[in-house]
Each structure stands twice: as C-alpha cells, then as structure tokens.
Structure 1
Amino acid sequence: MIRWLAFFLVLGLLLASAIGVVALRHESRQLFAALQEAGAERDQARVEWSRLQLEQAWLAEAGRVEREARDQLGMTLPERTGVLVETQ
C-alpha cells in the first residue's frame, strides 16, 4: 500500500514537473517573440530619429532660414543706421 502511494506521489510530481517545464518553455518563447518585436521597434525608432535629425539640420541651416525670411515673409536686413548696439 505504501509503495503504491509513493509511486502515485512520484508520478504526480513528475507530471507536475513536466507541465511546469512545458509552461515555462511556452512563456520563454512568448518573451523571445516580444523581445524580437521590441528590437524591431527600436531599430525603426533609430531610423526615424536619424531622419528627423537630418531634417532638423536642413531646416535650421542659416542660409535657408534667411532665404525663407526674405522670400516668404518679405523681411530684409535693417539699414546700418537701424541697428542699435548696447554696451555696458
């Protein structure tokens, strides 16, 4: 009787262990898939960041800003008499 009880106890523990291994392996695969997806999103964000930095550098170029101010806003450089320089 005790042998059968021990046998079924060991069998139950073995089955529980096997189910635990399967569950952990499944979770591991899901986490790996999430990691791969996050890596792809990171790479896409880096590409977008590089593109935005280039666009910002192009938009902030001094010659371009001055040209846009002149052409679109009708701005001109002030005459020399119109420039006020303060000294302390």
Structure 2
Amino acid sequence: MQSMPKRLIMLLAVVMVIAIAVIQTRHESRQLFAELQTRQAERDALNVEWGKLLLEEGAWSQHRRVEAMARSRLGMNTPDAAHIRVVRVTRDAAP
C-alpha cells in the first residue's frame, strides 16, 4: 500500500510537467502567430511599394527611351550654355 501514494505522486508530477509543457507550447504558438501576422502585413506593404517602384521605373525608362530616340533618330542634343537664352517675364510686361 505504501507504493500506491508514491505512484500517485509520480503520476501527479508527470501530469503537472505535461500541463506546463502544453501551456508553454500554446503561449509560444500564439506569439509566433502574432509575429506571422506582423510579417504578413510587412510583406503586403513591401509588395505595394514594389508595385509603385515598378511603375516609377517604367516611367523613367520611357523617358530615357524617348531621349535616346531623339538623339539617335532626330539628331537632337542638349544645347551648349552659349546657345541657351533665359527669358524673364516681369509683372509690368505681362498683359
């Protein structure tokens, strides 16, 4: 009969250890899920930014293409400083 309380105490200790392990695992699971949601939100924001950057790159590459075609096909170039005239309009001269 004396071994029965020892077995009961051992069983109770094992159950307590398992219960603590389950609680710890659930807590870690919740923390990891919260981190996952944060990372997914960051990923979504980065995907939106990536899309905007792709659009911007398309706009800039279009400008470079037009400039390259103007130089090669039409023989256009940027004028020298001697050929640039700056015209300033004063308020008195405006109609």
Normalised TM-score (structure 2): 0.67
Task: Summarize deviations over 1:60-87 as a string: whole Å, max 9, x none.
Answer: 1147752xx99xxx616xxxxxxxxxxx
Query: Counterpart in 2 of 1:16?
Result: 17
User: How many residue pairs are counted as aligned between the two chains?
Assistant: 71
Q: 1:75 matched to which residue of 2?
A: 78
Tell me how far 1:30 sits from its aligned partner.
0.5
The one-letter amino acid paired with 1:75 is T
Query: Which structure 2 segments of 5+ residues have no match?
Result: 72-76, 80-95
**Larger helix proportion of the pair:** 1
Matched, 1:55 2:56: yes
What is aligned with 2:43?
42
Equivalent residue, structure 1, for 2:84: none
3-state SS in 1 of match to 2:46: helix
Write the distance in 1 (CA, Å) between the matches of 2:17 and 2:66.
70
Alignment root-mean-square deviation, CA: 2.3
Instruction: Give per-residue Cα distances to partners, 1:23-68, cap 9 Å, x unaligned.
Output: 00000001101110110011011000000000010111147752xx
When normalised by structure 1's length, the TM-score is 0.72
Larger Rg: 2
